[in-house]
Structure 1
């Protein structure tokens, strides 16, 4: 086994944690280790705390499929200062969930959930009451919807009222194949990002590198930002929420990228055509 350190990356993570979560208070425990690192074991990478393997809540060794992802998880642990604030450690949580799988889910379970989520996608519901907001949504959301339809060669309606818009069988089939082209770890991370954004479309746009996490968060918060521009905002609370959402989406994308090296070798340049 060959050991590695993560000091340079962790200093950046620590600075960001201090910036993003200055007022958050969680149940924490004291930091019990001095150094973090990573080791390679066969084709996997493991995180170490004082040369001891980091384990999941179920006692399994936390191992990932790529060195960059292992470095990022180790940096997340090294970024903890006096206390360990686990609710902010999204990378560790995502890896733990994928390894322990407490819900005993399969990739098909997650893909089915994401397909059922699509009709409730934030981008499919434009305001029916405020003309100014509706115009803003059309300006900001329509280009993303058009990209999505072109990317997957599908047509997706938006809601005309409070009713869920229909999703064609062909669209479900194309997206099912797309989701199932990812391994379980990556698909679990995609689901995490979808739930943060309330939008499979925005998360897919991030995975496909059409949008940056910060852009996706602003789009999913478009109505809230519109209301804040009219009624004002709490000096720090809304920025904190935006930063937290961005951190969640960025963590999910990092896991997708790290877990997706095997996926990249077989990824499609274009989505498969429907039968």
Structure 2
């Protein structure tokens, strides 16, 4: 298996369309089962395909922590038609990653997410036009204030794109909160962070401060502003829809 953190960074750098193209070039396995169901087993739930448990790429039985997540994963398998397409199964991919990699390398993944917080998108503000500045202030400031209360430290706001690291005490407090996550939740948090460009929005989603819709909207203020001004082409719309599916999968795990 490739180094997990390297894999995360490479996957995050790809847009969903690129990932879909890569998957489409592979020879996908044909659907070989009639029914996919969530089945209770010791320690949680498995996914049974005609009675046989789904295995992770690491060859262990895929184990889900609760019925809500297990039924959603089973639905992904049930939705496959002639072939099994991992590109259309975000919950399964996150669960596989959590079980095969994050469990053994929890601290490294948590540290990686914390580094996202150190250059969080919510701290980098436009200086014009005024309408965009106002929207960022209206939506992002309350989320940062919430996070500051939780972390007992203040974020530094930056105008423009010049990097400035956030205070070490804030990052230490953020990292400490991640120790309460399970490996599956941490894998989902990394997915949400990558898609939102914000570890703060991901944490607010995970801790119930923001709904899935509100977190998604907050992550796309600038993009939505540009769509209003210039319109959106079909390819960009397709990519965004794919990303939303991935984000919803991560949110389901974090909120289940």
TM-score (normalised: structure 1) = 0.77
Conserved 8 A contact 1:55-1:62: yes
Partner of 1:194: 193
Larger displacement relative to structure 2 (185-194 or 25-34)? 25-34
Q: In the TM superposition, what are the counterparts of 1:99-248 in structure 2 within 5 Å?
A: 99-101=99-101, 106-234=105-233, 236-248=234-246
Larger displacement relative to structure 2 (141-150 or 236-245)? 236-245
- Cα distance change on mapping 1:45 and 1:104 into 2, 3 Å: closer
Structure 1 position 48, deviation (Å)? 0.5
Structure 1 position 257, deviation (Å)? 4.2
Conserved 8 A contact 1:214-1:246: no
Structure 1 position 246, deviation (Å)? 2.5
Structure 1 position 129, deviation (Å)? 4.2
Q: In the TM superposition, what are the counterparts of 1:57-68 in structure 2 within 5 Å?
A: 57-68=57-68
Partner of 1:254: 252
Equivalent residue of 1:144, what SS?
A: helix
Structure 1 position 154, deviation (Å)? 2.0
The answer on 1:77 being equivalent to 2:77 is: yes
Partner of 1:37: 37
Structure 1 position 191, deviation (Å)? 0.8
Backbone CA RMSD of aligned residues: 2.2
Separation in structure 2 between the aligned mates of residue 82 and residue 56 of structure 1, nearest angstrom: 21
Equivalent residue of 1:73, what SS?
A: helix
Separation in structure 2 between the aligned mates of residue 105 and residue 157 of structure 1, nearest angstrom: 33
Structure 1 position 131, deviation (Å)? 3.0
Q: Write the deviation string for residues 239-266 of structure 1: whole angstroms up to 9, x where unpaired.
A: 43333222222211222345xxxxxxxx
Equivalent residue of 1:30, what SS?
A: coil
Separation in structure 1 between the aligned mates of residue 133 and residue 43 of structure 2, nearest angstrom: 51
Equivalent pairs, count: 234
Q: Write the deviation string for residues 213-257 of structure 1: whole angstroms up to 9, x where unpaired.
A: 2222222121111111111122x4444333322222221122234
TM-score (normalised: structure 2) = 0.83
- The list of structure 1 runs, each at least 4 consecutive aligned residues, that deviate by more than 6 angstroms after superposition, is none
Conserved 8 A contact 1:98-1:188: yes
Computing the radius of gyration over CA atoms, which structure comes out larger, 1 or 2?
A: 1
Conserved 8 A contact 2:103-2:183: no
Structure 1 position 141, deviation (Å)? 1.6
Partner of 1:4: none
